């Protein structure tokens, strides 16, 4: 049934939204990979990395940098299933584009073209046909594995669907004990699961901010107490803008950098209009303003991790919607107290950050403004809480994951 459904989905000429774009991308990906294989595949080892989208793939960055130093003549290719990764630079990859269609013939053509030495899955984006056929030929590792436990009925069916891959997997680097237990429930052999932590923590700790790219904003932020609102989704807009209007009216030093998760023209316009309706004077960067207001919307991609360095406190978007919060580790590593919505609990780091006092869950603009005001009036508390949160960010997963993947590559 699954294979038949995949054939039907890829045969549909057009579907709306991101799903339709993803299906089109995957439909044409096999031919693109065949062209790359003919022109660029070398004779050395090749690790194939797959992640659902940008967030999952970026967790692999510290592992792949270490692999480059460990394995000679290594090539790295990256596949993904979300359109969000199309526009995102992935400098650790020799080539990246959509994963092939979930059809046996496409999977076989892809594997023959790129000749991978090993497959590494970031987090949990498993495709039974494509990866199941790969597991018959090459070793497979799941790195930074973070699974969600479903009902027994769903778990049983998932274990059957994923069996062609999971029963053959060589190693799973689980984030914590919960993830390890779910992996075993899904059918990963007992001895293949190891709890190693989250390589996203290594990435956040090791990343060197590129402040030159945001020098204009660095100057703007001087002498201000900036809330950096990162990965803002439409579901965050009202809470963020209403709370910002309250705080900016009370505290002359307060300022906001609002960074949309998808900073396209429509999203930026909607966020700007919502802020204006809340009574805020708004600037957009990059833009032509000579004198910027205290509420600035950033419309450039790829800068959020640097922008947190300018922060006094942080707000992480996404947790008012079904997708859950975006990365709460990135601001925590800068020692910032973090605010987020009610669904932030979907992140593994959330409970530890909350216990440290560095993560505050809010459900209304009033709650956000009240908690935000406490940090505006008590600098010592803000610093103490932020440092406690930074202590939650722990290294080590990238090193262990690299050791295992290098051994699978013969390095």
pLDDT digits (tens, 9 = 90+) for 381-394: 999 999 999 999 99
Average pLDDT of the residues in 108-121: 98
**Are 338 and 401 found together in one domain?**
no
Average pLDDT of the residues in 179-195: 91
Q: Does the structure show a pLDDT above 80 at 153?
A: no
Q: For residue 205, tell me if it sits in a domain.
A: no
pLDDT tens, position by position, 160-172: 888 888 899 999 9
**Are 47 and 75 found together in one domain?**
yes
Which CATH number characterizes residue 58's domain?
3.40.50.11720
What pLDDT score was predicted for residue 322? Answer: 65
Cβ–Cβ under 8 Å, residues 243 and 369: yes
Interatomic CA distance for residues 34 and 22, integer angstroms: 19
**Are 154 and 241 found together in one domain?**
no
Average pLDDT of the residues in 86-97: 91
**Residue 101, domain extent:** 2-197+396-408
Q: Does the structure show a pLDDT above 90 at 30?
A: yes
Q: For residue 202, tell me if it sits in a domain.
A: no
56-65, 195-204, 259-268, 323-332: the lowest-pLDDT one? 323-332
The CA-based angle 99-105-108, given to 5 degrees, is 70
Q: Does the structure show a pLDDT above 70 at 94?
A: yes
Cβ–Cβ under 8 Å, residues 98 and 80: yes
**Are 271 and 191 found together in one domain?**
no
Share of the chain above pLDDT 90, in %: 71
What pLDDT score was predicted for residue 151? Answer: 78
**Are 74 and 104 found together in one domain?**
yes
**Are 220 and 368 found together in one domain?**
yes
Q: For residue 311, tell me if it sits in a domain.
A: yes
Residue 135 pLDDT grade (very low, low, confident, very high; cuts 50, 70, 90): very high
Q: Does the structure show a pLDDT above 90 at 144?
A: yes
Q: Does the structure show a pLDDT above 70 at 285?
A: yes
Average pLDDT of the residues in 37-60: 95
Q: Does the structure show a pLDDT above 80 at 308?
A: yes
Domain count, the chain: 2
Interatomic CA distance for residues 47 and 41, integer angstroms: 12
**Are 67 and 215 found together in one domain?**
no
Interatomic CA distance for residues 269 and 282, integer angstroms: 11
Q: How many Cα atoms occupy the beta-carbon half-sphere of 67 within 13 Å?
A: 30
Interatomic CA distance for residues 138 and 118, integer angstroms: 5
- Paired tokens of 280: 């805020």
Average pLDDT of the residues in 231-241: 95
User: 159 exposed, middle or buried (CB, 10 Å; 0-12, 13-18, 19+)?
Assistant: middle
Mean pLDDT of the chain: 91
Average pLDDT of the residues in 82-108: 92
Which CATH number characterizes residue 304's domain?
3.40.50.2000
Interatomic CA distance for residues 349 and 346, integer angstroms: 9
- Paired tokens of 250: 């009370």
**Are 153 and 289 found together in one domain?**
no
């Amino acid at each position: 049934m699954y294979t038949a459904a995949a054939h039907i989905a890829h045969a549909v000429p057009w579907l709306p939204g991101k799903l339709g774009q993803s299906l089109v991308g995957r439909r044409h990906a096999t031919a693109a990979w065949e062209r790359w294989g003919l022109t660029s595949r070398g004779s050395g080892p090749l690790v194939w990395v797959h992640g659902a989208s940008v967030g999952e793939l970026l967790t692999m960055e510290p592992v792949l940098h270490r692999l480059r130093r460990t394995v000679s003549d290594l090539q790295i290719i990256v596949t993904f299933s979300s359109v969000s990764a199309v526009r995102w630079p992935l400098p650790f990859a020799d080539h990246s584009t959509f994963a092939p269609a979930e059809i046996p013939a496409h999977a076989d053509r892809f594997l023959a073209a790129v000749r991978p030495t090993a497959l590494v899955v970031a987090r949990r984006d498993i495709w039974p046909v494509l990866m199941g056929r790969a597991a018959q030929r090459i070793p497979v590792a799941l790195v930074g594995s973070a699974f969600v436990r479903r009902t027994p009925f769903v778990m049983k069916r998932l274990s059957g669907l994923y069996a062609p891959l999971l029963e053959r997997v060589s190693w799973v680097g689980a984030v914590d004990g919960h993830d390890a237990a779910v992996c075993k429930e899904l059918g990963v052999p007992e001895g293949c699961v190891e709890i190693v932590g989250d390589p996203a923590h290594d990435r956040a700790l090791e990343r060197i901010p590129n402040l030159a790219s945001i020098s204009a904003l660095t100057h703007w932020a001087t002498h201000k107490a900036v809330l950096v609102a990162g990965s803002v989704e439409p579901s965050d807009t009202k809470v963020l803008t209403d709370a910002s209007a309250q705080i900016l009216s009370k505290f002359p030093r307060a300022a906001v950098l609002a960074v949309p998760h998808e900073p396209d023209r429509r999203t930026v316009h909607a966020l700007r209009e919502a802020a204006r309706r809340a009574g805020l004077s708004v600037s957009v960067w990059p833009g032509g303003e000579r004198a910027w207001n205290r509420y600035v919307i950033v419309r450039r991609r790829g800068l959020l991790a640097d922008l947190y360095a300018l922060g006094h406190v942080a707000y992480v978007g996404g947790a008012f919607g079904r997708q859950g919060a975006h990365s709460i580790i990135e601001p925590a590593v800068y020692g910032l107290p973090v605010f987020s919505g009610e669904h932030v609990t979907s992140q593994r780091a959330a409970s530890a950050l909350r216990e440290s006092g560095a993560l505050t869950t809010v459900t209304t603009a009033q709650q956000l403004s009240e908690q935000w005001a406490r940090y505006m009036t008590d600098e010592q508390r803000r610093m103490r809480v932020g440092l406690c949160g930074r202590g939650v960010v722990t290294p080590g997963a990238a090193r262990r994951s690299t050791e295992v993947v290098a051994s699978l590559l013969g390095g």
